[in-house]
Structure 1
Amino acid sequence: MDLLNRKNAFIQLGNFFNSYLDLNESEIYSSQNHELIKFHDLLLNAKHHNAWFTLEQLKHSLQSWASVLTEEHFSKWLENYEFNEVSPKKVGIIMAGNIPLVGFHDFICVSIVGHYLRIKPSSNDSLLLPFIIDFLAEKDAYFKTHIEIKKERLDDFDAVIATGSNNTSRYFDYYFRNYPSIIRKNRNSIAILEGNETPEELEKLGEDMFRYFGLGCRSVSKLYVPEDYDFKAFFEAIYAYSSLLNHHKYVNNYDYNKAVYLMSQVALLDNNFVILKEDTSLSSPIGCIFYERYKNKKKLSERLQLQNDDIQCIVSKNEIYFGDVIEFGETQQPNLWDYADNINTLAFLLKI
């Protein structure tokens, strides 16, 4: 029954997100629904607190979560797990703040299992989670008694899930070496093109590259293209995202990186809102997408398999020789059973 109550609380949260997304601003304020009004004001505050969190990006995050916080998705996700003999532990979660609610899946996993949560949110994304916790606490007492947000140092835990950069992961590895842990570091997503993609597929690829301004680990930062690939159709298809230039932080990064590359006399492809640079690295800076040409797809797959620990998602219209691929436009729509770094968080939490 406790698991059912927690699951139903999340489903009601998804319904609340949908209720909010169904209304425009004037309808929200005229609704006299104090909870919706408070939530909208909170999103506006989050937008000012972190300029990367535009209202559009925040709403996309909410839509993404609302689409999976359903009875159908929870049933499919949880059907093969047994929760009856869980001994509640104190689980610390250190959240990143690169995109809105980036640590929310870990929050859901720990809550569903029934552990205690000790949460250290990022200062870049500290406003939404307290509202969500209060909302859930009204639906089930678990969320009142089992959750604590740590403003300072994380302490008093039995296991930890920590997300950060490659640099912070080394600190996490040392600091949490005596605890059961999941330590996440930098990963990037890639797309493998074959030259026969439709304009619609390439436009959807723009969603994979530019959603959240490319700040997420599920954001495509690297393209692999055939040796004779012509980028004309690609540039035409992604022009729909030229409104990125209206965002001051994005355009500042684009201008800066372009200037650095030009001063270094680096050859670039440029459509005036994103740079394409030929580079072997998986991680590209904001306003830039790296690309690399390949001759043989099987050999490319073999090479990428050696870099598997650095890759989060692979976008392609056809299968590759290892792992799964994601359809164009779907990287920022993960399901509940899509785990970061391919580490089953739920299985980890059931074993500690």
Structure 2
Amino acid sequence: MHVLQKNIDAFVKLGAFLEQFCDTTPVRKEGIANNDMFYDGFLHQLKLAEEHNGWFIRENLSFAMKQWSLALTREHLLEWLSGYDTRHITPNRVAVIMAGNIPLVGFHDFLAVLLLGHSVVVKQSSNDRHLLPYLSKYLEYAEPTLKGRISFTEDKLENFDAVIATGSDNTARYFEYYFGKKPNIIRRNRNSVAVLTGKETPEELKALGEDIFRYFGLGCRNVSKIFVPEQYNFDQFFKAIYAYRDIIEIPKYANNYDYNKAVYLMSLFEMLENGFLMLKEDEGYASPIATLFYETYENGQELKKKLEVDSEKIQCVVSNGFITGETGFGNTQKPALSDYADGVDTIEFLLRI
């Protein structure tokens, strides 16, 4: 059997395995490959992840498992790879440096490297170190040819042919210094925005709440800023997102809300707030936790030009019929396999090294 097909088979089995953990109360299913060996162990890893990182609440862990279980089907994997010539791949050793802001945030890079027959050496964030090593053991058991092709390190990266590194603007400079001579993808800070026209339905605005609050806004695909027409009435927005009010019951979120509110009040910044989210007028894109920046616009065409100029700071633009390549309300944290971070085609990169 072709190597690619074997690798696809292994990840399809993993997708079926993860489907059991899509709800906050996992449901063990019959007929799942290697379940007797791995089910209870993964329950324990989820518990460890939740205990280790206060942002990784069970609801968000379950959401992440669900998105990957939906993505890892034979149909989706074959459709994703169908546009590439994968017949002549030279196996290489690819280093992947992962962020730890949301659960399994580096899994897409991990998946792409292994599907194409390369070996991966993973340097994880300490914030998200429990899940992927365990899932790697599952993959090695599902497809023995993957053994020896997956490794993890906490030490200095050595003996690799290419690197995919995700971090901040500051770490990107470090990455460029150390890895600039190797084929690389280096990702920096990005945030996502939404463009409102004032004609949105209550359902669309409620869905926007998902884009804002999922993972507490910690992902680069989370909406951290909205653009609204001048004289926009925020009452409809606040009414629609009221469904997410229970987020303030999460201690780490509440602490950030209280701290940032105190800073704004002491600095005499004007803001709007509803008890669990603050709206602050600001030209920046990276808003603090529990804060959503907003900026008004007068002319839609001028706003499109601004978004184009700032495109390297933006991951997603959420809107309805405003701009080419937009993301629909409520869908930022449900990317397709072909929705590449920073718009850089990882598969194309891995085929060229």
TM range (shorter): over 0.9
Match of 2:75 among 72, 76, 86: 72
Q: 8 Å contact 1:13–1:69 — kept in the other structure?
A: yes
SS in 2 for 1:124: coil
CA shift digits 1:230-287 (9 cap, x unpaired): 0001001101111111111111001100000000111100001000000000110001
Q: What residue in structure 1 maps to residue 92 of structure 2?
A: 89
In structure 1, C-alpha distance between the alignment counterparts of 2:257 and 2:65, rounded to whole Å: 27
Alignment counterpart, residue 207 of structure 2, candidates 204, 207, 211: 204
Q: 2:273 aligns with which of 261, 270, 273?
A: 270
Query: Which amino acid in structure 1 is aligned with residue 249 of structure 2?
Result: N
RMSD across aligned C-alpha pairs, in angstroms?
1.6
Who is 2:350 aligned against? 349
Q: Alpha-carbon deviation of 1:143?
A: 2.1
Query: Alignment partner of 1:189: what SS?
Result: strand
Write the distance in 2 (CA, Å) between the matches of 1:252 and 1:35: 36
**Paired residues of 2:20 and 2:28 also in contact (CA < 8 A):** no
Question: What pairs with 1:80-229 in structure 2 (closer than 5 Å)?
Answer: 80-229=83-232
Give, in whole Å, the separation in 2 of the partners of 1:24 and 1:91. 36
Sequence identity (%): 49
Runs of 4+ in 1 over 6 A off after TM superposition: none
Q: Residue by residue, what CA displacement relative to the aligned partner does 1:319-350 show, whole Å, maximum 9, x if unpaired?
A: 32xx4101000000011111000000000000
**Which residues of structure 1 form unaligned runs of 5+?**
none
The answer on 1:326 being equivalent to 2:332 is no
Q: Which amino acid aligns with 1:244?
A: I
Task: Read off the aligned partner of 2:145 and give its amino acid letter.
Answer: Y
| 1:57 counterpart SS class | helix
Q: Find the residue that maps to 1:317 and give its secondary structure.
A: coil
- Distance in 1, matches of 2:154 and 2:264, equals 40
What is the deviation of 1:28? Answer: 5.0
- What amino acid maps onto 2:297 in structure 1? Y
Q: Tell me the TM-score normalized by structure 1.
A: 0.96
2:16 corresponding residue in structure 1: 15
1:279 is matched with 282
Shift of 1:40: 1.2
Normalised to the residue count of structure 2, the TM-score between the two structures is: 0.96
Please give the alpha-carbon distance, in whole angstroms, between the structure 2 residues aligned to 1:351 and 1:282: 33
Unaligned runs of 5+ in 2: 30-34
Match of 2:4 in 1: 3
Contact 1:95 1:162 in 2 (8 A): yes
Kept in 1, the 8 Å contact 2:46–2:61? The answer is yes
Q: CA deviation at 1:139?
A: 1.2
Structure 1 distance, partners of 2:280, 2:25, is 40
Which of residues 316, 319, 323 is equivalent to 1:313?
A: 316
